[in-house]
Amino acid sequence: MFNLKNKVAVVTGGAGHIGFSISEALAEAGAEVFITSRNQDKSESAARELEKTSGEKVKGVTMDIESYDSIKNCLNQIQSESGKIDVLVNNASSLPVGKMQDISDNDWKKGIDGTINAVFRCTKLVTPIMEKTGAGSIVNISSIYGSVSPDPSIYQITGYDSPPHYGAGKAAIQQFTRYAACHLAQKGIRVNSVSPGAFPKPEIQKNEEFINNLKKKIPLDRIGQPYELKGVIVFLASQASSYVTGQNIHVDGGWTAL
């Protein structure tokens, strides 16, 4: 049920901190994986590494999630090469940083464009490709900050913060997931979202004060590791979740259960 052999999967931002584990999970399950990134060298390097370790076909391709034409050209290229697309993981995001009082109106717009608008574009453009086979699974990467507000006490004087457009965009992804699931169900396309909790990048993990603040919010008393997203991704991509659509799954060590 969890086997993705003979499936074609696309992961936007598939060479990043979380994206690489997502790509790895799909390849380990047997899928042919296309890793997309604005940076061709980055996506190709990640693809070569995964192809060696997984033994499956993995390819790096260029896609700019802020460009409708770039997304369309990339997906059409993948379809032309592999004949279909069975799985799309909308993982990539692009947004400026800053606190609510500091970000400009233009930064707000860029943040929304780099989250929900990007997911909308990719979903819209992959739908006719999936329609041709009458099946598909779309997995949107949201965040717990699409469900709850960041706790300002976590950040304090650590120098970090979560910009307001991040949570707003991620919340919109959850709602769009429900909308798309209902409107694409008759086409055989399932749409779900995953909301990771605290999965800070390695450089951020060096800040012990910040990490300790994060742990106080997590019943499991530790931050998440990217590999811990693998199971839920393969579940939603595969036939193991054939009757699951329109759902948002938190992977957060219990954060949102408090």
221 — alpha (psi -120 to 50), left (phi > 0) or beta?
left
Pair of tokens at residue 54: 């997984």
Q: Span 202-228, mean pLDDT?
A: 96
- pLDDT confidence of residue 161: 85
* Active-site option among 68, 145, 166, 243: 166
Strands (E), the chain: 8-12, 32-37, 58-62, 87-90, 136-141, 189-196, 248-251
Sheet with strand 189-196: strands edge to edge: 58-62, 32-37, 8-12, 87-90, 136-141, 189-196, 248-251
- pLDDT confidence of residue 159: 76
- pLDDT confidence of residue 210: 93
Are 20 and 226 in contact, with CB atoms under 8 Å apart? yes
pLDDT digits (tens, 9 = 90+) for 22-46: 999 999 999 999 999 999 999 999 9
Known catalytic residue at 243: no
The domains located in the chain, with CATH, are: 8-253 (3.40.50.720)
8-state DSSP, 133:
T
Q: Report d(CA 196, CA 117) in Å as an integer.
A: 19
pLDDT digits (tens, 9 = 90+) for 55-113: 999 999 999 999 999 999 999 999 999 999 999 999 999 999 888 888 999 999 999 99
DSSP 183-218: HHGGGTEEEEEEEE-----HHHHT-HHHHHHHHTT-
- pLDDT confidence of residue 133: 97
SS3 category, 228: helix
Q: Report d(CA 132, CA 121) in Å as an integer.
A: 19
pLDDT digits (tens, 9 = 90+) for 122-156: 999 999 999 999 999 999 999 999 999 999 999 88
Burial label, 239 (beta-carbon count in 10 A; 0-12, 13-18, 19+): middle
Are 141 and 90 in contact, with CB atoms under 8 Å apart? yes
- pLDDT confidence of residue 138: 99
Whether 158 has a pLDDT exceeding 90, the answer reads no
Q: What is the model's pTM? A: 0.97
Whether 18 has a pLDDT exceeding 80, the answer reads yes
Whether 202 has a pLDDT exceeding 80, the answer reads yes
- DSSP count for the chain of H helices, then E strands: 10, 7
